[in-house]
Amino acid sequence: MKLISRITLIMTSAAGIIFIILGVCFMGMSGYMSSVVTKASQVTTDVIESVESVVSDGNIVISEAEALPNFTNGGVTGMLFVGLILLLYGIGSTVVSIMALNKLEKAKVKKDVKVFGILACIFSFVAPGVFLLRLTDDDIKDKEELEDRRR
């Protein structure tokens, strides 16, 4: 059971690193999209002004082009928030998993890892937390220590 707990904690920290990378990518893409939207709205405004100067009455309506910045800015903001949530979840998951793995290696009794099992359930994936909470004192102790006790 201790081996399974180690493996799931290592996999969780690796998944946390992937979430960090995804969060940074989403935030970077939102910044790039923001500059593209700004440039597109400027080009659209320039086109509308040049068309209005040619038309004699000045009544030209291009509602889709004028609404372009409003629609796309919502997508940029949404992507920024998704990236931020992924980044924070990845950092929390990685930190809690590494701390729990270190505590698991140094633990002598089940009580030593119980808090980290609860933290892993809250801030990380549920599986490593459940495995940590299901550990027994015999699982935590090394094989050599158990063999010495039996003799």
Please report the pLDDT score of residue 21 as a whole number: 92
Please report the pLDDT score of residue 67 as a whole number: 53
- In sequence order, what DSSP letters do the residues of 46-82 get, joined into one string? HHHHHHHHHSSS-----HHHHHHHHHHHHHHHHHHHH
The domain of 26 spans 2-150
Tell me if the pTM is above 0.85.
no
When mean pLDDT is compared across 19-33, 70-84, 111-125, the lowest value belongs to 70-84
Total count of domains within the chain: 1
